[in-house]
Amino acid sequence: MENKIPIFDKVTPSLLEAMPYQYAWKDINVCIETQEFTCLCPWTGHPDFAYIVINYIPDKNVIELKSLKMYLQSYRMVGMVHESVVNSILGDLVKVVKPKEMSIDIEFGIRGGITTTVSAQYFKK
Amino acid sequence: MENKIPIFDKVTPSLLEAMPYQYAWKDINVCIETQEFTCLCPWTGHPDFAYIVINYIPDKNVIELKSLKMYLQSYRMVGMVHESVVNSILGDLVKVVKPKEMSIDIEFGIRGGITTTVSAQYFKK
Amino acid sequence: MENKIPIFDKVTPSLLEAMPYQYAWKDINVCIETQEFTCLCPWTGHPDFAYIVINYIPDKNVIELKSLKMYLQSYRMVGMVHESVVNSILGDLVKVVKPKEMSIDIEFGIRGGITTTVSAQYFKK
Amino acid sequence: MENKIPIFDKVTPSLLEAMPYQYAWKDINVCIETQEFTCLCPWTGHPDFAYIVINYIPDKNVIELKSLKMYLQSYRMVGMVHESVVNSILGDLVKVVKPKEMSIDIEFGIRGGITTTVSAQYFKK
Amino acid sequence: MENKIPIFDKVTPSLLEAMPYQYAWKDINVCIETQEFTCLCPWTGHPDFAYIVINYIPDKNVIELKSLKMYLQSYRMVGMVHESVVNSILGDLVKVVKPKEMSIDIEFGIRGGITTTVSAQYFKK
Amino acid sequence: MENKIPIFDKVTPSLLEAMPYQYAWKDINVCIETQEFTCLCPWTGHPDFAYIVINYIPDKNVIELKSLKMYLQSYRMVGMVHESVVNSILGDLVKVVKPKEMSIDIEFGIRGGITTTVSAQYFKK
Amino acid sequence: MENKIPIFDKVTPSLLEAMPYQYAWKDINVCIETQEFTCLCPWTGHPDFAYIVINYIPDKNVIELKSLKMYLQSYRMVGMVHESVVNSILGDLVKVVKPKEMSIDIEFGIRGGITTTVSAQYFKK
Amino acid sequence: MENKIPIFDKVTPSLLEAMPYQYAWKDINVCIETQEFTCLCPWTGHPDFAYIVINYIPDKNVIELKSLKMYLQSYRMVGMVHESVVNSILGDLVKVVKPKEMSIDIEFGIRGGITTTVSAQYFKK
Amino acid sequence: MENKIPIFDKVTPSLLEAMPYQYAWKDINVCIETQEFTCLCPWTGHPDFAYIVINYIPDKNVIELKSLKMYLQSYRMVGMVHESVVNSILGDLVKVVKPKEMSIDIEFGIRGGITTTVSAQYFKK
Amino acid sequence: MENKIPIFDKVTPSLLEAMPYQYAWKDINVCIETQEFTCLCPWTGHPDFAYIVINYIPDKNVIELKSLKMYLQSYRMVGMVHESVVNSILGDLVKVVKPKEMSIDIEFGIRGGITTTVSAQYFKK
């Protein structure tokens, strides 16, 4: 069977899309979780796997979920350290969705007997 | 066996009923949970399933549970995005029950590897 | 085998007994939990089952546990809505034990796919 | 609020009803579980609570679930030892439903620090 | 937002599709689980929710999963008793996929305090 | 096999020993948990079992764990009500260890279907 | 408060009592579990704690549960190795209850980082 | 940071290595589990994630774990249906390790509300 | 504080001791579990950690637990592959205890995202 | 197989390495967990095992994880009491990483039926 799959070789923020939030006068919290994230270790080239939790209070926009899925897939062949992954995702999401608040927690799979979870927050000034 | 089931084709707030709260001088918290909620995805027409948690402090009324069940069933054939579902339910309940406070959390079934939980609150001014 | 069991047909607060708290100069918290509570639904006559959690800070008295058990059994053949059960138990306990603070949480068994938990608090003025 | 609830003072097998099994040429297993069972201890008159699991392979009939619920409720004010409860329920169900096989497991609530589970089986000869 | 969703008013086996199993000389077991199934109670018209587990050993075909999803959705507005649901799904899948063996377990949501699980098997003669 | 075991017939605080805390300029929290505690019910003489959690911030001393074990064993043949057990242990530990803060939670085994947890705190003035 | 509690200094099988099994023509399985067992280590004199599971098929008698509780309490001040405890309990129960089959599993509390579970069975010849 | 990561564009069995099993006269079972497997859906190009369990009884060789890790990574950019993945891995491992027996279970991440687990076995003739 | 700890630099079977089994005419099963085992990886020198389960039916002897603890500690500074660890422990225990049957399961800590469990059995001929 | 493993006979802070935190203008929290820590009891020489959780907010540096692993391994043959372990690790990490805040929780394996967890915090002034 022929293989016609797009291979992303760098993080691609242009994949992210926002949708207008139809109740913009009303604060809600949106929590998005996925067990399906993988990037590469920049030192060894081996895959890293992670569990990601995103919480945000939308202002005028919400994240379009399919576009988020595509965006997260663009890390698949990219080497990046843990602390950079969380800052990279937070930065890209804030730019596109412009939320009132957003936090991201990423729990990376165990390496050398050690589990690492990295967390970052954004608050609109 | 004959099929005489009412099909709701739109959200039906008139199904909701309140009962007088008999200890209205005394604040209580009521927490209502259900694993049995389904609506439709407005883009694909496929069913969405969700786990709903409602917390409220009644003022003069409590929610009549059978009527809540009927009301939630009226989403069964309706297409609606996640953020609208939580605002729609919160709005309808607040109108009928007029609570002191109410919060709603809705955890939607996993789609594309992603779980989404949407939360909204109401506080009587 | 002969059946000589007392049938309570109404809630019986006189079953409740307090014991002097022997360290009355010292605040403690007492948490009492039971999976064994049943009353009746006032609309249908069918049994309701509930999990009860009572937390209190005694003043001069503590609850005598056997008497609490007997008191909770007196709801067995009584029809009462959820919001009334929590207020009824809280009121009776406060009258007998006169605690500094007390809270009661009652999680009723699932009905029509819906679980309901009702909570109330008392604070001595 | 007036209390018009029927009080069963003895186990009432006549409450049980069977429905024809519409695929009688095809063996299925039906597993029925309930956390809502209570009877009385014949020695002390105190309530016992239990978790019941019924498994059966229907022959020509299946158990009508509402009638099973009513039947189990008829133990509510009856004093009976654990070993008798399981044999009583099994005997009554076999008489009405005439299954190919049936097993019943009843886990009674902890008493004196001891949990007791009683199990019995029936096989059509 | 316009509602252009197809409403199935009866179980639609023609939605099911099989794909050729490419290792047909080699036995495998395929286990399919879904928390997302709903039909209606034929007596009350109220929705039933269920957890479905399908196990089968393919012969020449495997189930196409999207078609299975569509097929299961066709029960959404159909009233059917528990024992019929399991036999209906088993019968339709066997006809289309012609497996060597297949078993189906369906755990229906709690009703009246009672959980029911119905199981059926098929073995190719 | 000869039985030369010391039987404590009363609570024996002299068994408790403190050790100097070697980082006394630095606050830490120490949490000690044990599933292995038993005393007697003063009314019935029957054993009670409990799960104990002790949290404290040492000042100049820490608890020597073997001595704590011996001290807790000295309740083995002593009849004492729940509220007294927590105050007795807290009092004895505070006298010997002189902590900055200490809290004790004791969850007693289920009796008559009821679980009781008693909690007390100490704060150095 | 005066301490009038009986202290057993040896295992006391005479505490065990059997009751006639009223359905002796019908095999059942009885499973008895308790988290509340303690004896002493014969080498160190320190208490051991254990979780006990007893399964048996009664012949003409069932175990009277209060007497079992008293019997298990008689190990409280007795030093005995793990393998002897299981054989001692099995032997005493078989003598008094004369079951068709009986098995006993005893999981002792962790010692030196090691958990030990000892199991023995009896089958009537 | 420069990206010098090898990208596998097809399954690469040559990555697998066996080591001599040093106790070849003695049967053992080896169970290998990993939460870190990803390939692509051949229809949509989207990633699939899976939990893999491999059990085998070695004959003369055991699997070298680092080489297994590399081999499983070679599926990362390959599109393959579920049933083929299990047969492909089983076939490659059997060829290299030549075990007495081997079984593989692969649980793929939920898609469209459906979880799929595929299992295959090998027995040396 | 002076460090006078014995360092074992090789596995030391002479640490193992057996005790006579006092009910040698009666088969029991003994299950021993420990979360506290560590050895070294022979390739990298890094520590490995494992969870060990030992089941055996004693013949004339049982394992003395303190000696088992000492024996397992002797692997602390020894490099050994997983398959050898299980065979080494099984071999040493069988030599000393001479059981009727023995099985050992060892689950090693996750390495490179992979968990490995190795199992071996012994049956007296 | 030759054993060329370095044996650390004292805690070796020089093994710890920091890496520059590339988003130093942005606060993140990093949580590091490991089940793989062992040191020795200074009184008995027996191994202690522990579960360690480290949380910190980096300032200019993050912990290099491999170096942390090596550092934690240097406790392997060192005798140290619980309260000293937590202060020793906290002190060494703060010196090398110079975080804004750091907390460490260490849960030691059960000893004499008692589990001990020791926690310490650091806040940059």
Assigned domain for J78 exists: yes
Query: Residue D90: which H helix or E strand, with range?
Result: helix D82-97
Assigned domain for C8 exists: no
Work out the pLDDT band at D6, boundaries 50, 70, 90: low
Residue J123 CB partners (closer than 8 Å, separation 6+)? J100, J101
As given in the structure block, the two tokens for residue B124 are 């009587």
Query: Which of D 31-50 lie inside 8 A of F, CB atoms?
Result: 46, 49
Residue pairs between chains B and H whose CB atoms are closer than 8 Å: 10
Say yes or no to pLDDT of G100 above 50: yes
Say yes or no to pLDDT of D9 above 80: no
* Owner of token pair 């079984």: H103
Work out the pLDDT band at G1, boundaries 50, 70, 90: very low
Q: Do chains E and C touch (3 or more CB pairs under 8 A)?
A: yes
Residues B36-72, buried b or exposed e (16+ Cβ, 10 A)? bbbbbbbeeebbbbbebbbbbbbeebbbbbebbbbbb
Q: What is the pLDDT of residue B39?
A: 96
Say yes or no to pLDDT of C7 above 80: no
**Nearest CA-CA partner of C93 in C50, C125, C58, C51:** C58
What whole-number distance in Å separates Cα of residue I86 and Cα of residue I103?
10
Q: What is the pLDDT of residue I27?
A: 95
Shortest CB distance from I30 goes to which of G84, G118, G121?
A: G118
Contacting chains of B (3 CB pairs or more, <8 Å) are: A, C, E, H
Residues H63-101, buried b or exposed e (16+ Cβ, 10 A)? bbbebbbbbbbbbbbbbbbbbbbbbbbbebbbebbebeb
Q: What percent of chain E has pLDDT over 70?
A: 94
pLDDT tens string H50-108 = 999 999 999 999 999 999 999 999 999 999 999 999 999 999 999 999 999 999 999 99
Residue pairs between chains D and G whose CB atoms are closer than 8 Å: 55
Residues of chain I with pLDDT under 70: 1-8
What whole-number distance in Å separates Cα of residue C119 and Cα of residue B27?
9
Query: Does residue D89 belong to the interface with chain G, where contact is any CB pair within 8 Å?
Result: no
Q: Do chains A and C touch (3 or more CB pairs under 8 A)?
A: no
Contacting chains of A (3 CB pairs or more, <8 Å) are: B, H, I, J
Neighbouring C-beta atoms of residue I29, cutoff 10 Å:
17
> Do G30 and D117 make contact, defined as CB atoms within 8 angstroms?
yes
Assigned domain for J103 exists: yes
Q: What is the pLDDT of residue A125?
A: 81
Kindly name the residue from E9, E27, E39, E48 that is annotated as catalytic. E48
**In sequence order, what are the beta bridge partners of C56?**
C30, C102
Coil, helix or strand for D62?
strand
Q: What is the pLDDT of residue F1?
A: 37
Say yes or no to pLDDT of D15 above 50: yes
As given in the structure block, the two tokens for residue G61 are 């008698």
CA distance J16 to chain G (A): 30
Residue J119 CB partners (closer than 8 Å, separation 6+)? F28, F29, F30, F31, J86, J103, J104, J105, J106
Domain count, chain I: 1
pLDDT tens string J58-94 = 999 999 999 999 999 999 999 999 999 999 999 999 9
Work out the pLDDT band at F108, boundaries 50, 70, 90: very high
Q: Are F24 and F45 in contact (CB under 8 A)?
A: no
As given in the structure block, the two tokens for residue G46 are 């320190």
What whole-number distance in Å separates Cα of residue I63 and Cα of residue I34?
14
Q: What is the pLDDT of residue I16?
A: 97
Contacting chains of H (3 CB pairs or more, <8 Å) are: A, B, E, I
Q: Do chains A and H touch (3 or more CB pairs under 8 A)?
A: yes
pLDDT (average), residues D85-99:
97
pLDDT tens string I80-96 = 999 999 999 999 999 99
Q: What is the pLDDT of residue B8?
A: 62
pLDDT (average), residues H6-12:
75
Q: HEC states along H69-92?
A: HHHHHCCCCCECCHHHHHHHHHHH
DSSP code, position E32: E
What whole-number distance in Å separates Cα of residue F82 and Cα of residue F50?
10
Query: Does residue I73 belong to the interface with chain G, where contact is any CB pair within 8 Å?
Result: no
Residue pairs between chains D and F whose CB atoms are closer than 8 Å: 11
Coil, helix or strand for B5?
coil
- In whole numbers, what is the pLDDT of chain B averaged over residues? 92
Neighbouring C-beta atoms of residue C60, cutoff 10 Å:
12
What whole-number distance in Å separates Cα of residue H98 and Cα of residue H80?
24
Q: What is the pLDDT of residue G7?
A: 56
Q: What is the pLDDT of residue C125?
A: 81
pLDDT (average), residues E35-43:
94
Tally helices (H) and strands (E) across chain D. Answer: 2, 6
Q: Do chains J and D touch (3 or more CB pairs under 8 A)?
A: no
Neighbouring C-beta atoms of residue D57, cutoff 10 Å:
16
pLDDT tens-place values along chain A, 125 residues long: 344 445 567 999 999 999 999 999 999 999 999 999 999 999 889 999 999 999 999 999 999 999 999 999 999 999 999 999 999 999 999 999 999 999 999 999 999 999 999 999 999 98
First to last CA, chain C: 52
CA distance B122 to chain A (A): 9
Spell out which residues of chain J touch residue G112, defining contact as CB-CB under 8 Å. Answer: 46
Say yes or no to pLDDT of D44 above 60: yes
Residue of chain E with shortest Cα separation from D28 = E120
Query: What ipTM describes this predicted complex?
Result: 0.90
CA distance B106 to chain C (A): 14
Assigned domain for F94 exists: yes
What whole-number distance in Å separates Cα of residue B9 and Cα of residue B66?
19
Q: What is the pLDDT of residue E5?
A: 47
Q: Are G42 and G101 in contact (CB under 8 A)?
A: no
> Do C83 and B69 make contact, defined as CB atoms within 8 angstroms?
no
Q: What is the pLDDT of residue C8?
A: 62
Q: What is the pLDDT of residue E43?
A: 86
What whole-number distance in Å separates Cα of residue E37 and Cα of residue F85?
52
Q: What is the pLDDT of residue J4?
A: 45
pLDDT (average), residues H27-55:
96
Residue of chain A with shortest Cα separation from J22 = A84
Q: What is the pLDDT of residue F8?
A: 62
pLDDT (average), residues G8-37:
94
What whole-number distance in Å separates Cα of residue I57 and Cα of residue G86?
14
Alpha carbon separation from H94 to H36, H73, H101 (Å, rounded): 21, 18, 9
Q: Are B86 and B104 in contact (CB under 8 A)?
A: yes
Chain length of chain B: 125
Query: Does residue J28 belong to the interface with chain A, where contact is any CB pair within 8 Å?
Result: yes
pLDDT (average), residues C78-87:
94
Residue of chain F with shortest Cα separation from D112 = F111
| CA dihedral sign, ordered E42, E45, E50, E56 | positive
Q: Are J36 and J48 in contact (CB under 8 A)?
A: no
> Do H110 and B112 make contact, defined as CB atoms within 8 angstroms?
no
> Do D42 and C1 make contact, defined as CB atoms within 8 angstroms?
yes
> Do C77 and D73 make contact, defined as CB atoms within 8 angstroms?
no
CATH number of domain containing A88 = 3.30.1130.10
Q: Are H116 and E65 in contact (CB under 8 A)?
A: yes
Give Dmax (Cα) for chain I.
52
Coil, helix or strand for A123?
strand
Coil, helix or strand for J1?
coil
Strands (E), chain E: 18-20, 28-40, 47-57, 61-63, 101-111, 114-123
Can J41 be counted among the known catalytic residues? Answer: yes
Assigned domain for I43 exists: yes
> Do B3 and E38 make contact, defined as CB atoms within 8 angstroms?
no
- In whole numbers, what is the pLDDT of chain E averaged over residues? 92
> Do G77 and F1 make contact, defined as CB atoms within 8 angstroms?
no
What whole-number distance in Å separates Cα of residue F47 and Cα of residue E115?
37
Assigned domain for F17 exists: no
First to last CA, chain A: 52
Coil, helix or strand for E85?
helix
Kindly name the residue from I27, I31, I39, I41 that is annotated as catalytic. I41
> Do F83 and C29 make contact, defined as CB atoms within 8 angstroms?
no
> Do A115 and J32 make contact, defined as CB atoms within 8 angstroms?
yes
Residue E50 CB partners (closer than 8 Å, separation 6+)? E37, E38, E39, E85, E106, E107, E108, E109
Q: Are A57 and A29 in contact (CB under 8 A)?
A: yes
Q: What is the pLDDT of residue J8?
A: 62
Q: What is the pLDDT of residue E91?
A: 97
CA distance I36 to chain A (A): 15
What whole-number distance in Å separates Cα of residue B57 and Cα of residue B122?
11
Assigned domain for B7 exists: no
Q: HEC states along chain F?
A: CCCCCCCCCCCCHHHCCEEECCCCCCCEEEEEEEEEEEEECCCCCCEEEEEEEEEEECCCEEECHHHHHHHHHCCCCCECCHHHHHHHHHHHHHHHHCCCEEEEEEEEEEECCEEEEEEEEEECC
Burial class (CB in 10 A: 0-12, 13-18, 19+), I2: exposed
- In whole numbers, what is the pLDDT of chain J averaged over residues? 92
> Do H66 and I115 make contact, defined as CB atoms within 8 angstroms?
no
> Would you list the DSSP string of I51-109?
EEEEEEE-SSEEE-HHHHHHHHHTTTT-B--HHHHHHHHHHHHHHHH--SEEEEEEEEE
What whole-number distance in Å separates Cα of residue G54 and Cα of residue D51?
19
- Listed in sequence order, the DSSP H helices in H28-81 are 65-73
> Do A114 and J34 make contact, defined as CB atoms within 8 angstroms?
yes
Say yes or no to pLDDT of G5 above 80: no
Q: Are H54 and H78 in contact (CB under 8 A)?
A: no
Q: Which amino acid is at D51?
A: Y
Q: What is the pLDDT of residue I17?
A: 97
Q: What is the pLDDT of residue C34?
A: 97
Say yes or no to pLDDT of C5 above 80: no
Q: Are A57 and A100 in contact (CB under 8 A)?
A: yes
Q: What is the pLDDT of residue G87?
A: 96
Work out the pLDDT band at B7, boundaries 50, 70, 90: low
Work out the pLDDT band at H2, boundaries 50, 70, 90: very low
CA distance D32 to chain E (A): 5
Residue G6 CB partners (closer than 8 Å, separation 6+)? F45
Q: Are B22 and B63 in contact (CB under 8 A)?
A: no
What whole-number distance in Å separates Cα of residue I31 and Cα of residue I121?
14
Mutate to test the interface with F, among D51, D110, D114, D116 (most CBs of F within 10 A): D110
Work out the pLDDT band at G6, boundaries 50, 70, 90: low
Assigned domain for A60 exists: yes
Higher pLDDT, G1 or H104: H104
First to last CA, chain D: 52
What whole-number distance in Å separates Cα of residue A73 and Cα of residue H46?
8
> Do B49 and H109 make contact, defined as CB atoms within 8 angstroms?
no
> Do B83 and A21 make contact, defined as CB atoms within 8 angstroms?
yes
Q: Which amino acid is at I59?
A: D
Q: What is the pLDDT of residue E125?
A: 81
Query: Does residue D100 belong to the interface with chain E, where contact is any CB pair within 8 Å?
Result: no
What whole-number distance in Å separates Cα of residue G86 and Cα of residue J24?
62
First to last CA, chain G: 52
pLDDT (average), residues E3-21:
80
Residue range of the domain that includes E37: 13-114
